[in-house]
Structures are given as C-alpha cells and as structure tokens.
Structure 1
C-alpha cells in the first residue's frame, strides 16, 4: 500500500512496504503481519498437548506454557508481529535415501549451518532498520524462544498448519524456516490463510511410527525427530526398526505433502545442503569420536545433541542396515565409555553378529558391565538373537 504526503509531494513508502523490501533483501521468501491477540485458541491446544504428556521429555514447553500462550505475555509492549519465512527446499526427494541402508539420512533442515544463527542475524538486521526508520522497540525470535511461530504464521497468512502440525505454504510447500519480529509499531495485519488440506492424509499415513493420534495432533514421544534429537535416553525398542537409517530427524511427513509440488530448491544464497551431509556412510559416522563429531558438525544443528546421542542413532541405523561388515566397529563401540552408546551397540550386534559371537560377547560383558540399562540390552539381545546373520548386498 502507498500513501501520499500531506504537502502533495510524491508518495512515500509505508513502514510495511519498507519491512517487506528489507525482508526480501535479507533473503526471506515470505513476510506478513499479524496482531499479538490473533491466536487465542493456541493456548488451550498447547495446554492440552502438555497435559496429555505428548511433549515427552521436552520440559521447557511446560515450564514456559504461560509465556508461550500469548505474545503479550512474553512482551507486553508488542503491538504488531512480523512473521517471516525462508525457503529451505531440498534439491532431491528426501525419502530417496531411505532405501540406501548403508547411508545415513539427516533431516533436510540440518544439512547446513544452524538456521537459528542464520535467521536470527538477518532478523536483527531488519529489526535495526525498523527502529532507525520508525523508532520504538523491537525483539526478534527464532524457534528457541517461547513463541508459537506456526500459529502466528497461519494467522499472518503465510500458510496453514497442516495435519502434520507443520506450516504449509501454497507457494513453498512444507519447507519453511520461520522467524518473528515483535515491534511496538502498529501495522495493519494480514488475513489468515485458510486450511487447504481437505481430505488428504498423505502426511499422516506415511509416518513410520504412527506419531499422529489424529489429524492436527502430534504425539512427540512417537516421532522420529523427537526420538533422535530431543530424547536423551535409549531409543525405545518398539521404534528402532522403524527408525531405519534416519540418524537425525525425519522428513517423511513434510516430504509427503502434495503442496510441495509448488516448492522449489533453496538458492545458493540461502541454506543449501552440504554435499558431505546429504548421504554420509554409516560406516564412516561410526568412526567419529568427540573431536571428529565436533569437527564434522561445526556450525550445524546436529552438534546440539552431542556425539553420544548421535552415535546412538547411527548404531540403530547400523543395526537396520543388514551389513555384517559393521560388526567389528559395533563390537568396539560396545566398550565405549558412554552407556548410551554401549546399549545401542548391543542392539546393533543383536541384528548383525552371528549368535555364537553374540553369546561370547555377552558373557564377557556380564563380568564388567555395571550399567543396568546396558545389562538389560545384553539380556534382550541374547534372548532374541537368531542363529545366523547375513550381510545385505550393497
């Protein structure tokens, strides 16, 4: 929208136009505005999610429930919220790697620099320009703060929360990073985006662990992204085979969305996937010690979970690979200093090692293993192991 100056001179750009122009300049693909009171239903939905226990061990969600419930509770001075989206669309179908069991699947969003750092820096740049132009106050938020970005993005018209609970855009599909700028400036809000999911169930039906008890509801405790990232303990036995070769996150529900036909691959100026993280070998990842892990994932969100949790995930992928060539390394990791790693190594060995060798290793372990969870893994492995293990041809 353009407005004229009172003295009859040529029209000047509105603050809203200025923000949109700066957002595009900073690399954002979508920008819209909503009001702080635009998501009154979100608080009740979040409370029900927490009360059902479906947030799992993500205790910070419950701890920040009141602040998450309303943007004004987080910052009373806010008058408008600018919601911005950045496309991170992949250049190949993310599920293609799932059939390559010797390779590790890393979620699309984690194959480059940590998006929190990239987006927050750009938001701060835009926010500074808003203050320079219009005065007032601003705050920027990206994911880690207690802000409900997806309901706000829906209210602002960037897209709608699909049945997989993630934001879907008619222009960019399901591949959007979100960030928000809270401002004391009063901006005209955009219209919300209606739901366009219709009768489609693609995202629900593709989930390998049945993590959706109903459309628009997620049980995080069953979600592979939660299990491989947020979960600090062993991956529950019932989900290990379903995890497949996913070693960090899961893109299945996002990738299944039909609206992705309008998506496009991220440009070179944005978060393009590193080649070495598109399909790393499971064998290579199993060799990572702490220093090697930190070096490989420097600047990546994968680094957040630490080497032990990551190797836990890779060992589950190893067990699902069918590759007996990994047995030697799994044996070495069964003596790792971390009980989490040792337990996952035992499970991998139960899937890959010949029974005789497995029984021999179990007997050796029982004389020295003190961790009860690892001892339980050995008991389970020897009770359920089969006589032979065969390598799956590459």
Structure 2
C-alpha cells in the first residue's frame, strides 16, 4: 500500500512548530466569494479599499492562481495563559490585543511556511508531480478562514472569526497552495448552537446579525485600519483598548479547550502586556519604532497609535494624565491634536489633596 503523501507534510509541519496541518480542495466551488461581495456591497468594509479593488481575486483561490488544486492549511496556536479581559478594568494602562503582544506573527509564520513549501515542492518533483506551490500569510487576496473551515481546522463562528473545538479562538493561519492534488480532509461544521456570548460582548455592537460583521463599528478596524478621528460613541466604547479588541474572542465557551501558546516568539513582551498610558503618550516617532520593533503594531505608525492612546486616556478618569495630554495639544498631526483636545475635555480637573 502506497504511503500517504500527506503524512510527510504533516510530520514536517509539526517539526516546524505548527500545531495543526490539514488539507482542502482549492478548486471546488464555494459560497465564500458571494458572502464577501455582499459584505463589500453593503459598505461594511469601511475604508479598507483594498478589499474592493481585490474583490475578484479574493472570490476564490483559483481566481488568484488558476493552477491551485490543493490548500495545505496550517495553524499556529497563540493562546494566552488566561482570560485577558480583566486587564480592561485598569483604565490607566492600555490594552493591546493578545495577538500583538509578541513578535509579528506574519514574520514568525512566513519563514516556516516557505521552508515547508520548499520541502513539499521537492517531494512533489521527486514523485513526478508539478512542484508549483505558493505561500500566504494574511497579506495576499486569499480568504484563509473559509479554507481553514473546508480543511477542518474549525469554523467561522458568529463573530466571523475562525473557531476551533481544540484551540478555541486563538489560532493563526497560514496557507500553502499547491498545483498537486491531495486527498482533502473532512470539513468542519458549525458548533455555535444557540450561544450568543460573542455578539453580546461586543462593546460597539459591530455584529448586525450572527455570522455578520460591520467593520466600521469594530474596534479592531478602528484602532488599526482607520486613520481619521472617530465618532465619539466609539471613542467612549474603546475604554482602554489601544490596539485591537479581544472581547468577542475571549468570551467564547470553546476557549475552555484552548492551550497556552508554545511558540516563544509569540509570548507577550512584558512592556506590551499592560503598558502605562502616560509612557505611551510620551512616545515620539523614534521611540514608537523602538518599542514596537518586530511588532505588528509598528505598521500603523506613531500618529494613529497615539490617537488611540489619547482616546483611552480620555476614558481613564485619571487627572494625573492631564500633563501627558496637554503636551500633545500642539502635536504636528491634526488627528493627534483632535484626540488630545477630546481627551482633555473628558478628564476631571486636579483637586488639592
């Protein structure tokens, strides 16, 4: 009996540190492209114009690469060592999403995916199969979550994120598309049932219905993708969240099966677990780049980040932060100045002790 070629790939993936490796057809029809089109047509993608310009290529894996036959879907666990949400109670410190507290996962995963892809290509060539492979880590027009569900890693929950029965919500994805045909694994089905914990937890009510997201109301979108001043309702709702939001992920009951991440590069840096807002507000561009070296946070730039920090300061109720805000009233960036003025208007005046 011939050996299953998938066994070699799974073994190599495990050696490279991946927690799960499964296979799906990249050529069969699916409904994910139609759902994405409705999302964009409704304007729920907000200012993420790249979603509209790449819509046709995102519609299906073969729309981007017509030679794709199989998707090898890899998962890397980034689970925290406990519930992160109690940190939100400390309004003088900023809250950074769990996924962004360590090194940039794109860089962590990309090198290993390339290494695995090279091994897959060499193995295919030795078997007389076309060695064509392509690697994807959340930066190309490929919908990884539907592929992950098709491969059986999990399902897209009511919060639209991938949800695993063994990893909870904490799973980074990477994909290798191959021109070779591999037997697909069984797809995962939806197991949310009647639970609405994720929908109920959203601080901005960003889910118009189960399994639907309006990114324009999502704090992850607002803190990371949106460059302009926010509507006041979202400034207040963000609380101390300064980069991303974990509420809908962290409350999911399936997290009871989650494990703490093993990858050392994804471990939270002490400086990013609960950083003091006063220290963050003092960052100039050089200080920002130094603090967030090799971090995904570096991508949004100092000005957008300081805007987020100022909104959090405005929600802190801490008059000791007033001097930090006043220094930014004359910042060179108009969005930062606007955020500083709003923050100052929200803080109580210092009173004599």
TM over 0.5: yes
Q: Who is 2:341 aligned against?
A: 346
1:284-330, Cα deviation, whole Å (9 max, x unpaired): 10110000000000000000000000000000000000111111121
CA RMSD of aligned residues (A): 1.4
2:302 pairs with 1:307: yes
Alpha-carbon distance, 1:269 to partner: 3.8
**Aligned counterpart in structure 1 of residue 292 of structure 2, from 294, 297, 313:** 297
SS in 1 for 2:266: coil
1:328-353, Cα deviation, whole Å (9 max, x unpaired): 12111010001011000001000115
SS in 2 for 1:28: coil
2:165 pairs with 1:170: yes
SS in 2 for 1:321: coil
Alpha-carbon distance, 1:229 to partner: 0.4
Contiguous gaps of at least 5 residues in structure 1: 5-12, 355-388
2:65 pairs with 1:75: yes
2:192 pairs with 1:197: yes
CA contact (8 A) 2:204 2:234 kept: yes
Alpha-carbon distance, 1:235 to partner: 1.8
CA contact (8 A) 2:27 2:68 kept: no
1:29-50, Cα deviation, whole Å (9 max, x unpaired): 1111111134510111000000
SS in 1 for 2:21: strand
2:267 pairs with 1:272: yes
**Aligned counterpart in structure 2 of residue 221 of structure 1, from 213, 216, 222:** 216
2:121 pairs with 1:126: no
Distance in 1, matches of 2:134 and 2:161, equals 24
Q: Who is 1:249 aligned against?
A: 244
**Pairing of 1:133-152 with structure 2 (within 5 A):** 133-135=123-125, 136-152=131-147
Alpha-carbon distance, 1:14 to partner: 2.8
Q: What's the TM-score, normalizing by structure 2?
A: 0.96
SS in 1 for 2:315: helix
1:33-84, Cα deviation, whole Å (9 max, x unpaired): 1111345101110000000000000000011001100101111111111011
Higher relative contact order (Cα pairs below 8 Å, separated by 6+ residues) = 2
Q: How many residues align?
A: 348
Q: What's the TM-score, normalizing by structure 1?
A: 0.86
Alpha-carbon distance, 1:15 to partner: 1.8
Alpha-carbon distance, 1:390 to partner: 6.9
CA contact (8 A) 2:108 2:265 kept: no
Runs of 4+ in structure 1 deviating by more than 2 angstroms, as ranges, are: none
Q: 1:269 to 1:328 in 2, by over 3 A?
A: closer
**Aligned counterpart in structure 2 of residue 160 of structure 1, from 155, 164, 176:** 155
Alpha-carbon distance, 1:268 to partner: 4.6
Distance in 2, matches of 1:328 and 1:226, equals 29
Q: Who is 1:44 aligned against?
A: 34
SS in 2 for 1:247: strand
2:88 pairs with 1:93: no
Q: Who is 1:56 aligned against?
A: 46
Alpha-carbon distance, 1:273 to partner: 1.1
Q: Who is 1:288 aligned against?
A: 283
Q: Who is 2:55 aligned against?
A: 65
Distance in 2, matches of 1:259 and 1:38, equals 29
CA contact (8 A) 1:105 1:278 kept: yes
Contiguous gaps of at least 5 residues in structure 2: 126-130
Q: 1:313 to 1:26 in 2, by over 3 A?
A: same
Distance in 1, matches of 2:292 and 2:29, equals 36
CA contact (8 A) 1:85 1:177 kept: yes
SS in 1 for 2:14: helix
Distance in 2, matches of 1:249 and 1:231, equals 12
Distance in 2, matches of 1:390 and 1:177, equals 48
